[in-house]
Amino acid sequence: MGNKIGFGLYGSGLVAPFHAKALQASEKARLVAVAARSPEPRAKLAAEFGCKACATLEEMLQDPEVQVVNILTPNNVHYDQVVACARAGRHVLVEKPPAVSLREIDGMDAECRQAGVKLGVVLQCRVRKPIQAMKHAIEAGRFGRILHADTIMKWYRAEDYYFMNPWRSSRRAGAGVTIQHAFHYVDLLQYLAGPVRQVYARMTNLTHPRVELEDTLLAIVDYESGAQGVVEASTALFPGTDLRVEINGENGTAIMVGEHMEVWKFKDERPEDEGIRRLGDASQATAASGPAAFGFCDHQVVIDDMAECVHAGREPVIPVMSVRPTLEWALAMYQSAKEGAAVSLPVTDEEAAWG
Ligand SMILES: NC(=O)c1ccc[n+]([C@@H]2O[C@H](COP(=O)([O-])OP(=O)(O)OC[C@H]3O[C@@H](n4cnc5c(N)ncnc54)[C@H](O)[C@@H]3O)[C@@H](O)[C@H]2O)c1
């Protein structure tokens, strides 16, 4: 086992095997235990990946080999679980969205700081190579003034997806295309082009009549920089096509489709541009047509980074407070759709978003 950092998984649902596979493949981290309420899935996961099975989070936190806990539970219960881990002196990687309220994000950050543990978020699309290339180019000023920053996510989820587990069809549990699926790509826009000044959003349910959630989001966004953009996100559009993240500046354009660079074109062509155009794998599925249709490589980058953080005492690649503006933007879109009017940030009454 050498120097590998020990990880425990809390939750044994859809995303858990992706974490387990990433840990299995890692040279920096190893899977020690899985804890979950349902005996059958946790036993199956533990048997498949050769780790311990625990009935409760508290039981797993008794194990000194568990140095980091990955929280893989419904979005509205993350807060209490992150706090329990922090108070037990464990570092935490929490799945996205880290919480469903700004108060919870602030609270979990404060608890982890007080306990001296790291808190990272699994928003693994941020570590994709095309996104990192865009980030570096923005920071280096290659785009010039950013004019547009958009995402288009035309995905498909059959109605049974929403009934696999009760929280998937509950808005207060953090379900709905805006806070659940599009959160990744809204986060990328926030990471690349944020902060946001104002949003105007419309939410509809096109093809999931038995579910009281939006399956489609359309939003117009004004960034503080003066750039503008759109968010178009849906789980209603059969068969589901690869998501797009597009940045247009006065001096160039970059477009990621799925996880590969589709367009990378600047007025000042540089020698490295040819290599950047080849970043990513066009054949890798990125969840457009089904909830488990994606790979674990991006998860592994985030997990390896957390293992390095524990060794080095540095902050994780996606610290929780870097996700706060994304959650605020999502809440502003819910509020805007509810009120039928543009909403300016900051969000002052987050309950207004849920209503
Ligand atoms: N990063 C990604 O690409 C990605 C993909 C899928 C899901 N997710 C995130 O992972 C998390 C889990 O999603 P999932 O699809 O695996 O969900 P799931 O419903 O398949 O599994 C949830 C797990 O949590 C357990 N659970 C349910 N309620 C609980 C409670 N109150 N307390 C403790 N445990 C509880 C369930 O028994 C199950 O083990 C969510 O935050 C989701 O947004 C992220």
d(CA 61, CA 101): 26
Residue 354 has pLDDT above 80, yes or no: no
Whether the predicted pLDDT of 138 surpasses 60: yes
Whether the predicted pLDDT of 286 surpasses 70: yes
Contact 297 CB / ligand 1 (< 6 Å) = no
Question: What per-residue confidence (pLDDT) applies to 120?
Answer: 98
Are β-strands 68-71 and 244-249 bridged in parallel, bridged antiparallel, or unpaired? unpaired
Dump pLDDT digits (tens) for 29-82: 999 999 999 999 999 999 999 999 999 999 999 999 999 999 999 999 999 999
Give the neighbor-by-neighbor strand order of the sheet with 52-54. Answer: 52-54, 29-35, 5-10, 68-71, 91-95, 119-122
pLDDT for position 338 = 95
Cβ of 215 closer than 6 Å to ligand 1, yes or no, is: no
Task: Give 252 Cα–ligand 1 centroid separation in angstroms.
Answer: 39
Q: Who's near 204: CB < 8 A, 6+ residues apart?
A: 214, 215, 216, 218
If one residue of 9, 15, 85 were mutated to test the ligand 1 pocket, choosing by the most ligand atoms within 8 A of its CB, it would be: 15
Read off the pLDDT of residues 164-175 as tens digits, 9 standing for 90 and up. 999 999 988 999
Mutation to probe ligand 1, out of 14, 61, 243 (largest number of atoms < 8 A from CB): 14
Regarding the beta carbon of 14 and ligand 1, being less than 6 Å apart is answered: yes
Under the banding of pLDDT at 50, 70 and 90, the label for residue 350 is confident
9, pLDDT greater than 70: yes
Dihedral sign of CA atoms 261, 267, 268, 274 in order: positive
Give the pLDDT confidence score for residue 2 in this predicted structure.
Answer: 65
281 Cα–ligand 1 center, Å = 27
Q: Is the CB of 38 under 6 A from ligand 1?
A: yes
Is pLDDT above 90 for 340?
yes
Topology given in CATH for the domain delimited by 128-287+325-344: Dihydrodipicolinate Reductase; domain 2 (3.30.360)
Q: Where are the domains of the chain?
A: 5-122+296-318, 128-287+325-344
Which of 212, 204, 258, 200 shows the shortest CA–CA distance to 236? 204
Percentage of residues of the chain with pLDDT beyond 70: 99
Mean pLDDT, the chain, whole residue set: 96
Q: Whose CA is nearest to atom 11 of ligand 1?
A: 72
Query: What is the structure's pLDDT at 355?
Result: 65
CB of 36 closer than 6 angstroms to any ligand 1 atom: yes
DSSP bridge pairs for 257 = 244, 260
Look up residue 221 and give its two tokens. 């966004």
Task: Write down the pLDDT at residue 334.
Answer: 96
Q: Strands 68-71 and 52-54: what pairing?
A: unpaired
The residues near 110 (Cβ < 8 Å, ≥ 6 apart) are none
Q: What is the mean pLDDT of residues 218-244?
A: 98
Q: Is 263 in the pocket of ligand 1 (CB under 6 A)?
A: no
Class of domain 5-122+296-318: alpha beta
Report the distance separating Cα 93 and Cα 95, nearest Å.
Answer: 7
Residue in 71, 73, 181, 186 to alter for ligand 1 test, most ligand atoms within 8 A of Cβ: 73
Supply φ then ψ for residue 258, to 5 degrees.
Answer: 65, -115
